[in-house]
Structure formats: C-alpha cells, structure tokens
Structure 1
C-alpha cells in the first residue's frame, strides 16, 4: 500500500504523553512512501510452498488422522490463507477455536483472515480476544494497531505498537508502523530511529529504507534519503513507491528528466499510484 499524504501522530518509546504536540497537530507531508500494511504477517511468514495444493492436501491428511487436534486446523488454516482461500481458512480457524477456545494464536490468525476479507470489526474483536487470553502476545497488538492506524484511530494504534515494543518484540512491523506515526506528526528523528530498528530486524525488506528515506528528505538530508531509496530499489525493484521516492530526490535536485523516468517506472509498476502520476505531470510540464 502506498503511503500518500500522511496525517497521523505518535508518542515515544515507553511513554503515554504525546511529544510536544496536540491531537490536532497533524502534518500533511507531500512525500511518497510505502506503508507496510501487509508486508509481514503471520500468514506471509509461511513459505509460499506451504500454500500449495500439495501441502494443503498433506495437512488435510493430518486432520483426517487427528480430527480433534486444534493445531492441525490452525496450520491448515494458515496455509489456506496463504493460498488466498479465505473462506476455507476461516472454517479451519473456527474449528480450531471450537476445539481450543483459549488459543490466542487461532484468534489472531482468524483476525488476519477477517481483515483480508475487509471485515475490520470482527478482526479487531478477534485480536482483542487474543490479547485477553495472552496479554503478552505481540502479534495481536501489532495486528490490531495496524487496523486502528489505517482507520485513523491514531492514539489507539500507537498504544498497541508501543505495547508490542515494550514486550521486546522482534517483529519489525511494530517499529515500521510506529515510525510512520512519528513521521506523520513531523517527529522525523524519532521516526528515523524506529525505521533503523526495523531495518536491523529485517534488513532484506525495502519498507524501512523507504520510510527512513522519507524522513531524511523531510529533514533536508538528501544524500541519506537517496541512499535509502536506492537500497529499497535494489532490494525490490518492483515496488512503485521506491521509484517514486527516488524521483522526488531527482526532482528536488532539479533533474526533471531523471525524475520523470523514475516516476514513469513507478507508474509502470502501479498505474494507480497517484504520487507518481502527479510527479510525472510536474516533471513533464
């Protein structure tokens, strides 16, 4: 998902008071960046092959042998979700919860399926249930926080990401998303710190580099921004946001020809990416 003009806020590690800002002090930043909404989640951590028909068939055989094992349904449900077979995945997680109503993981997995089906209300309910079963379940806080973030419930989102971080999560999503909240409130130094932590936890993913580059650019550090955007492109050359971010640097440097090429590349990858469309119009003009 492309992060377009950003309008959210955050607080700092371990704190509950917003730093030097009120709830209305949102900054609209006209920069392109990538929101890591679906870059890493429980289902995505399953190897692609595990969502194959062959593997799902093997998991079905396991369930036939052990029909009362909730974990068997949990595992097959995750594989079905990885394959995009959401209705069937939902049935498996329902069965896992029926067999083990105290399975926080099953609730969190079902929440992710609800979210992918566009049912955010049930997703939030399931994440909340998972947290009530296991108050130290970082995945549930991160999943619920992202729904809050994308729906403008900024303070609740921040509190969930903060809680996951206080639990010493090693999941980069918590830092990526808290970084986005800092970034949107013009607290770029704190955003840079969070993006750097996310990068250290997942150095082969482009999202932390894109986010950190946007904050560097907002602070006038064009050199570091350009390095981060280029690294993001090297890691995944098929991400439109990275090319649009690179184009922003070229545009700021006055090189409209290179900027236009990068914006064009972004549009080739995502014809609906509005920051690239607007940037190309500016540089072509």
Structure 2
C-alpha cells in the first residue's frame, strides 16, 4: 500500500482504484546544526490538485456517495491543492463510512500536522496503528511529530519500527539519521542518509544531512560533494545554502562562504544559521 502514494494519477478512475494512496511527504528541512524543526509537507502535484481533476473526483463522489475511497482520494487532491479544510472534511467522511480505514486516518493526520494541530494528528496516527500495527507510514508520520517536539526516544522507536517492518520509505532512514546526528553518532547517521539516498537519489535532504555529518568528521571533500548535490536538486532551500557556507568556511574560503550564507539569508531572512554565518564571514565579502 505504501508505494502507491507515488503513483502518477491522471484520472479520477485511476485515483479511486488505489485505496492505500496516501499524501506524499517531502523530506525534512535541515538546519546547519540539525536542531531546527523539520516538517513533513504535502508534495504538490499540480495535476492531482488541479480544478479539472477535483471536478472529476467530485463527479465520482456524487456518483457513489457511500464509497469511502472516493472521499479519501478527493481529500488527497484537496490537500495537494492547499485546501486543508475540505481535505479534512473528506477524510472525516471516509472514516465515518469506514471506521477501519486506517489510510484515511493517516492522511487526515498529515493535513492536521500541516495545520500545526499536532495533538489531533498524533491521535489519528495512533488510531491508524491500532487498526493496522504494521502501517509504516503512520509510524514515520508520528515519529516526525515526536522528533520536532524533542521527544527523541519516542521518535527513534517509531522510525525503528518502520525500518523493522522493511519500509521502502526513505524518510524512516533519513529521520533516524537526523536523530543519530543530534546524538553525535555521525557514522551511523551517514549510513542512514546513504540508505535513504539509495532509495530515492533525487531527494535533496539526505545529501544535505550527510554533508553535515561528513563535515563533523572533517571529511570536507565528501561534504562539499553532497551539499552541492543537494543544491543542484533544490536550489531554493536556505538551509542547503547555509550548509554550503559551513563547508566553504571549513575549507578556509570565507569569501565564498559569505556569499552562500548571504544567499541563504536572502531566501529566508529569519533563518538563524544563515544570519550567524553572514556575521562570521562578513569581513571576507570583498576578498
């Protein structure tokens, strides 16, 4: 079931065939020191959240209003379009029609998390796991909430449980790697980031995370390769540019480091590691 959230769906009929479709989650944002919050976010697929597709899904709902699957997939589309209230309503209707629809609980939990309603989100993940204790997606989602709340032992237990279930979701390894990193276990973190990369080589976050751990082990060359790769995959993330600044600073190239930190601060003026980096390297700006 968990792989189906990556399926590209072109029509309402294709959506409805997949009961286990869940809201895809992007990787987690990294701070230069790996201490900042890292939130799941709905991966926007314009085709799935488009008004045309929503119209098709609404027609499917109207044609069979007692089918919970149609509400679940329309809820996913609403979530991807950013209409959280309608997404919540559809997932709730799906659950009313089928109280054992654990995927709908997990989908609703992810949207609740997007709305910073973490208590309600955890309750939904708990309910999904009561129904299906082997649902790796729910362990990963709940683990992320625990990790952001600094409940690291509980987060680690959830990520470990997903991994023990042989999850194919790279977020379990990536997020466990972040916890290892926070604990100073950088070699274990690198192993987990590498596993996440092997599962999805196009996700930038594990490259950035691995770069930080390489840098902590004074492996500056590999750190540079990884952070450059992260920026190539997504050049709009302030934390990636700040991490590049750290790598350049470690190399002694403070002028280039300043430019990276400054770019990070331009992307996110409130990003503290970028502001700190600018302050440290400002005197080298003209070098």
Q: TM-score when scaled to structure 2?
A: 0.86
Partner of 2:10: none
Partner of 2:181: 183
CA distance in 1, matches of 2:123, 2:133: 14
Partner of 2:122: 124
Greater relative contact order, per chain length (Cα 8 Å cut-off, separation 6+): 1
Q: Is the 8 A contact 1:33 1:211 kept in 2?
A: no
CA distance in 2, matches of 1:184, 1:138: 23
Q: Which residue among 253, 256, 264 is the counterpart of 2:254? A: 256
Partner of 1:162: 160
Q: Is the 8 A contact 2:95 2:105 kept in 1?
A: yes
Q: Which blocks of at least 5 consecutive residues in structure 1 are unaligned?
A: 5-29
CA distance in 1, matches of 2:203, 2:110: 21
Q: Does 1:31 align with 2:33?
A: yes
CA distance in 2, matches of 1:230, 1:108: 34
CA distance in 2, matches of 1:48, 1:133: 32
Partner of 1:96: 94
Q: Which blocks of at least 5 consecutive residues in structure 2 are unaligned?
A: 1-27
* 1:117 CA drift (Å): 1.2
- The 5-angstrom pairing of residues 98-113 of structure 1 reads 98-113=96-111
CA distance in 2, matches of 1:146, 1:180: 11
* 1:261 CA drift (Å): 0.8
- The 5-angstrom pairing of residues 175-254 of structure 1 reads 175-254=173-252
| Aligned alpha-carbon RMSD (Å) | 1.6
* 1:48 CA drift (Å): 2.4
* 1:31 CA drift (Å): 3.1
* 1:2 CA drift (Å): 4.6
Q: Is the 8 A contact 2:68 2:93 kept in 1?
A: yes
* 1:267 CA drift (Å): 1.5
